[in-house]
Amino acid sequence: MAILTTEHLTRRFKELTAVDDLTISVNQGEIFGLLGPNGAGKSTVIKMITTLLPPTSGCASVGGFDVVHNASNVRRLIGYVPQILSADGTLTGRENLMIFAKLYDIPKSERAPRIDESLEFMGLTDACNKLVKNYSGGMIRRLEIAQAMLHHPKVLFLDEPTIGLDPVGRKAVWDHIQKMCSDFDTTIFLTTHYMEEADKLCSRVAIMHLGKLAVIGVPADLKASLNKENVTLDDVFVYYTGGDLESGGSYREASMTRQTARRLG
Ligand SMILES: Nc1ncnc2c1ncn2[C@@H]1O[C@H](COP(=O)(O)OP(=O)(O)O)[C@@H](O)[C@H]1O
Ligand SMILES: [Mg+2]
């Protein structure tokens, strides 16, 4: 069953068409990966579906609610972890979570148990009274996910959740994302540059290039469609985006973005 759909979703910034006629649907309980080189339009798609940016044309809905006409209903169903930092380094993990508990209108008596639950779920109980500026990049990412899951969203949007993290931090974030999907039946909509992870964890992926949908499908099917041996999702990505991965652009830029620790220090 589709929990999220876009139809001819389009967003222009002056003469630039950042998202061009995107029609996709995401099923309840999926981990769906939106892939594409930098500038492909991924963050713009997420901003439109999360009601933060109005589409120029076309439409999108979450849980049957239109993102423009029923924005408040959509907001109640979703959690969002933006590409930019959303935790305050000068506060503790618990204090950051309290801000979000208030923001999401969680009743006073439920705030502490919800915060404890999300800390425990994200493996941050021991660190919850430390200032966030002393957290590792991976811990900060897990805290941001904890913030976004406090109100038990049906769909969680994660924009580049593992960018700039070391392999250990990346694995911890991915493990928690998977657990959320299985324990809470949360539908996950994420963007990533890491093809290997997307291949392992996403039930389906869509590859965007220059604002357009290049291809959508199950990773194994996309690999098989290239009709070659030992094909990886990297190969599929390069095939559909004209070699952006090989030129190193997306990877290099990815590692330069989100230098969390430095920005917080
Ligand atoms: N607010 C904005 N104003 C003007 N151009 C924008 C704005 N937001 C994004 N863009 C442009 O839209 C394109 C897609 O951006 P984005 O959605 O951030 O791509 P991605 O997340 O795939 O890297 C880029 O060319 C970017 O420069
Ligand atoms: Mg982006």
CATH code at position 13:
3.40.50.300
Q: Which atom of ligand 1 is nearest to the CA of 14?
A: 4
What residue's CA is closest to ligand 1, atom 10? 18
Q: How far is the CA of 255 from the centre of ligand 2 (A)?
A: 13
User: What is the domain extent for residue 196?
Assistant: 2-264
227 by DSSP, 3-state: which? coil
Q: How far is the CA of 109 from the centre of ligand 2 (A)?
A: 37
For residue 244, the model assigns a pLDDT of 52
| End-to-end Cα separation, the chain, in angstroms | 44
The count of domains in the chain is 1
Using CB distances shorter than 6 Å, the residues near ligand 1 are 13, 16, 18, 36, 38-44
For residue 169, the model assigns a pLDDT of 87
Q: Rounded to two decimals, what is the model's pTM?
A: 0.90
Give the span between the Cα atoms of 234 and 46, in whole angstroms.
Answer: 23
Structure tokens at 59: 């439409």
Average pLDDT across each block of 10 residues of the chain; the chain has 265 residues. List them in order. 97 98 97 94 97 98 98 96 92 97 94 96 96 95 94 95 88 91 94 90 96 97 94 94 55 41 43
For residue 146, the model assigns a pLDDT of 95
Q: Which atom of ligand 1 is nearest to the CA of 36?
A: 22
Structure tokens at 130: 């430390």
Calculate what percentage of the chain has a pLDDT beyond 70.
Answer: 91
Q: How far is the CA of 18 from the centre of ligand 1 (A)?
A: 6
What residue's CA is closest to ligand 1, atom 5? 13
Give the span between the Cα atoms of 18 and 24, in whole angstroms.
Answer: 16
Q: How far is the CA of 98 from the centre of ligand 2 (A)?
A: 27
Structure tokens at 70: 């029923």
Give the span between the Cα atoms of 10 and 122, in whole angstroms.
Answer: 35
Torsion angles phi and psi, residue 205, rounded to 5? -130, 150
Q: How far is the CA of 42 from the centre of ligand 1 (A)?
A: 8
Task: Return the exposure string of 134-172: e unless at least 16 CB atoms fall within 10 Å of the residue's CB, then b.
Answer: ebbbbbbbbbbbbbbbbbebbbbbbbbbbbbbeeebbeb
For residue 159, the model assigns a pLDDT of 96
Q: Which residues contact 235 (CB under 8 A, 6 or more apart)?
A: 223, 226, 228
For residue 95, the model assigns a pLDDT of 98
What residue's CA is closest to ligand 1, atom 9? 44
For residue 91, the model assigns a pLDDT of 97
Q: Which atom of ligand 1 is nearest to the CA of 41?
A: 17
Torsion angles phi and psi, residue 129, rounded to 5? -100, 10
DSSP string, 151-169: T--SEEEEESTTTT--HHH
Q: Which atom of ligand 1 is nearest to the CA of 46?
A: 17
